[in-house]
Structures are given as C-alpha cells and as structure tokens.
C-alpha cells in the first residue's frame, strides 16, 4: 500500500488524512463524480520541486468543464491555495519523492444523476512516489476491454468514475501475468495504458496516438513531445495500429506515475531487442533532468 502523508487538505483546511472524508450519499461516491490530477514532487532538502502544476490545474478545470461540474472555478478559487499545499508539505515532512493527488469531489447528497449545480469540495493528499510499472522490462497485454469512447465517457477528462474502465483492463492484464494493459479504442486503434500514454520509435521518428484516439492528454506526454522536438527528433501524432507496435524499434509508456517506462513485450511478442532503446533512454534522462529543475518554468519549489 502507498505511504500516504499523515495530513491532507480538505477544502482550505489541513486535517489528518484519516479524517478527510466524503459522504456515502454524495454524488462523488454514488456515481464517481469527481475529477482529479496527480502531480510529481521531487524531494530536495530545500522543499519539493513540483512538476508542471499550472498544466495539471488547467487539465483539472478542463475535466470538470467537460463533464459539466458547473461551479468548479469558484470552488478552486476558494479552496485551492498553493501556499496551503506548501504548509501541508511542511507538516508531512516528506523525505522522498511524492505524488500529490488533487481531487474536486461533487459532495451534494442524493442529487440524482446530474452534474451541474452540485456542491464541490477539493482535497489534496500526498503519497510516496513509486513507479507503477517495472522500470526496464514492462510487458503489456492488449485488452479485450476497449477504451471508453469520447461519446461515452471522455478519456480526456480525468473523471474518477471512468477509472472502472482502467481497473477492468489492468486487472485482466495482471491476472494474465502482464504488467499492464494496452487499450485499443472502439475503432481498433491503439489508445493508451491503464494510466499512462504510449509512444513508439520507428525509423528514428517518435510516434504516438493523436488526441482523437481516446487518450488522456497526458502532461508527461506533452513534455516528452517538447523534449523530443528540442532534441531534433521528428514527432508524429496520428492513429497507430497494434501491429505497428509489434514491429517498432522502441516502445515506451509515460505518465506522472509511470515516468518513462520501456515496454519490452506486447502480447508475448518481444519488441526489437527486448531492451530499453537509445531514444527511450535519452528521453527518460531529459524528463528526469526537467523534473530536477533543468527547465525552470516547468517546476515550482514548494
Ligand atoms: N492516461 C491515463 C488514463 C492516466 O490516468 C494517466 C495518468 N494521469 C496518463 C495517461 C498520463 O498522464 P500524465 O502524464 O498527465 O500523468
């Protein structure tokens, strides 16, 4: 189980995480009506160096907007104060890298299945940052469960309830002895993993499913695209077929809690040499450096 900080933010109050609760009668619990984002904080003796907070908060707002949580702007204005997160870090005294989970919960009770004019409450808790995938040898299983379509529950909105789709596919992959699932969308094109985006390298180009492939538009994905372009690598966002991945020169997954994880096997087919490839290695190093502050406007010291 994750090592969770003793204190959390609930609304604009810092309380013990164990006491930070949402009602069993709330829309959040009844229908999964909450939106969230998780950002990474690198431990330094001076404080936590947090990665791309404004981008995470923008996606949180966008997720709320997509599903129609109408009061989100007022709620975040009232309850999400970066200075409070700084206070939270001081109280929890982390000594390792951390993930920060920011959630906006719909706390209205028995409001019925609707999304507008619901009371909202924001929570933040932190927990030790442990990679969700093995760092050098992740193996994927193409799932029989398809990614929820944009016309059902938009994958680009980070909605708590939508993660049933990820849980079904991930569990099936784990039960079959793999590390994670690979989702195809309703059209049969490659989408993403349960909680990470996917890239492949082919003939020196970096290729990833486009934003209309029912993906979450990952902040790590966007960062990798920017870092690759800076390194002079051509990046293409397009539809990707499963069999293209089987024959790729390199495949990797990326995300806040997957960092950059080389994929060495998909459905029992070895990817290239079955080792972490050179472009994956370089992009992983570039991301690690960016998270350590090499790109100043990507990090905030809290
Ligand atoms: N896809 C899904 C379904 C995810 O849950 C995540 C993790 N947030 C990602 C991709 C990667 O997104 P990010 O880089 O913003 O963490």
Locate CATH 3.20.10.10 in the chain. 138-293
Locate CATH 3.30.470.10 in the chain. 7-129
- Give, rounded to a whole angstrom, the gap between the first and last alpha carbons of the chain: 25
Phi, psi of 170 (to 5 degrees): -65, -45
- The CATH number fitting domain 138-293, selected from 1.20.140.10, 3.40.50.1000, 3.40.640.10, 3.20.10.10: 3.20.10.10
User: Annotated catalytic, 158?
Assistant: yes
Torsion sign (Cα): 157, 115, 52, 179 = negative
Query: How confident is the model over 245-289, as pLDDT tens digits?
Result: 999 999 999 999 999 999 999 999 999 999 999 999 999 999 999
3-state secondary structure (DSSP) of residue 291 = helix
Which pTM was predicted?
A: 0.97
The number of residues making up the chain comes to 302
* Active-site entry in 158, 170, 229, 270: 158
- The CATH number fitting domain 7-129, selected from 3.30.2310.20, 3.30.470.10, 3.30.70.920, 3.10.20.70: 3.30.470.10
Computed over every residue of the chain, the mean pLDDT equals: 97
Q: What spacing in Å lies between the alpha carbon of 255 and ligand 1's midpoint?
A: 5
Atom of ligand 1 nearest to the CA of 216: 1
Q: What spacing in Å lies between the alpha carbon of 110 and ligand 1's midpoint?
A: 30
Q: What share of the chain is helix, strand, coil (3-state, %, to 5)?
A: 30, 30, 40
Q: What spacing in Å lies between the alpha carbon of 118 and ligand 1's midpoint?
A: 26
> Any residues with Cβ below 6 Å from ligand 1, and which?
38, 166, 192, 195-197, 216, 218-221, 255-256
Q: Give the mutation target among 34, 164, 196 for probing the ligand 1 site: most ligand atoms within 8 A of CB.
A: 196
Query: What are the start-end ranges of the H helices in the chain?
Result: 27-31, 53-67, 72-79, 82-92, 163-175, 219-230, 242-246, 278-291
What is the chain's pLDDT, residue by residue, as a tens digit (302 residues)? Answer: 899 999 999 999 999 999 999 999 999 999 999 999 999 999 999 999 999 999 999 999 999 999 999 999 899 988 899 999 999 999 999 999 999 999 999 999 999 999 999 999 999 999 999 999 998 889 999 999 999 999 999 999 999 999 999 999 999 999 999 999 999 999 999 999 999 999 999 999 999 999 999 999 999 999 999 999 999 999 999 999 999 999 999 999 999 999 999 999 999 999 999 999 999 999 999 999 999 999 989 999 99
């Amino acid at each position: 189980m994750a090592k969770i900080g003793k204190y959390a933010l609930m609304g604009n109050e810092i309380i013990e995480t164990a006491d930070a609760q949402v009602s069993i009668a709330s829309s959040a619990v009844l229908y999964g009506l909450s939106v969230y984002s998780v950002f990474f904080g690198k431990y330094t003796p001076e404080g936590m160096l947090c990665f791309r907070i404004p981008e995470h908060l923008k996606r949180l707002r966008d997720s709320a907007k997509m599903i129609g949580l109408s009061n989100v702007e007022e709620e975040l204005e009232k309850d999400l104060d970066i200075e409070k997160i700084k206070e939270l870090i001081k109280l929890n005294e982390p000594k390792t890298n951390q993930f920060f989970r920011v959630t906006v919960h719909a706390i209205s009770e028995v409001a019925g299945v609707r999304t507008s004019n619901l009371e909202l409450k924001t929570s933040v808790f932190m927990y030790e940052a442990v990679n969700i995938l093995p760092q050098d040898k992740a193996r994927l299983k193409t799932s029989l469960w398809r990614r929820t379509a944009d016309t059902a529950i938009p994958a680009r909105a980070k909605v708590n309830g939508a993660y049933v789709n990820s849980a079904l596919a991930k569990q099936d992959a784990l039960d079959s002895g793999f590390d994670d699932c690979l989702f195809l969308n309703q059209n049969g094109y490659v989408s993403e993993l349960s909680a990470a985006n996917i890239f492949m390298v082919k003939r020196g180009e970096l290729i990833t499913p486009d934003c209309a492939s029912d993906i979450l538009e990952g902040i790590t994905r966007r960062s990798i695209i920017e870092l690759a372009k800076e390194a002079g690598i051509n990046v293409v966002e397009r539809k990707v077929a499963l069999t293209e991945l089987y024959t790729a020169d390199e495949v990797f997954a990326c995300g806040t809690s997957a960092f950059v994880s080389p994929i060495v096997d998909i459905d029992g087919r070895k990817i290239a040499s079955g080792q972490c490839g050179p472009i994956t290695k370089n992009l992983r190093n570039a991301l690690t450096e960016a998270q350590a502050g090499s790109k100043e406007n990507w990090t905030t010291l809290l």
